[in-house]
Amino acid sequence: MNGPPHAADPGPEDAGAGSAGGLLVFAADGVDLHQLERIGRWFARIVRGGELILLEGPLGAGKTALVRAIARGLEVTDPVRSPSFTIANVYRGRRLTVNHLDLYRLELILDEDVLALEEYVAPDAVTLVEWPETGLDRLGEADYAVMIEHETIDTRKLRVIAGTAEAVARWDSAEEAGA
Ligand SMILES: Nc1ncnc2c1ncn2[C@@H]1O[C@H](COP(=O)(O)OP(=O)(O)OP(=O)(O)O)[C@@H](O)[C@H]1O
Ligand SMILES: [Mg+2]
In a domain, 51, yes or no: yes
Distances in whole angstroms, Cα of residue 123 to Cα of each of 4, 46, 47, 49, 96: 25, 14, 11, 5, 9
Q: Mutation test of ligand 1: which of 37, 54, 63 has the most ligand atoms closer than 8 Å to its C-beta? A: 63
- From the CA of 113, how far away is ligand 1's center (Å)? 30
Dihedrals phi, psi of 64, to nearest 5 degrees: -65, -35
Q: Give me the CATH number covering residue 137.
A: 3.40.50.300
Q: At what angle do helices 165-176 and 33-46 cross, to 10 degrees?
A: 110
Full residue range of the structural domain in which residue 145 is found: 24-176
pTM of the model: 0.89
What is the position in ligand 1's atom list of the atom closest to the CA of 151? 1
Question: Considering its fold, how many domains does the chain have in total?
Answer: 1
What is the position in ligand 1's atom list of the atom closest to the CA of 32? 1
Tens-digit pLDDT string for the chain (179 aa): 445 544 444 444 443 335 446 999 999 999 999 999 999 999 999 999 999 999 999 999 999 999 999 999 999 999 999 877 778 899 999 999 999 999 987 766 655 555 688 889 999 999 999 999 988 888 999 999 999 999 999 999 999 999 999 999 999 887 765 55
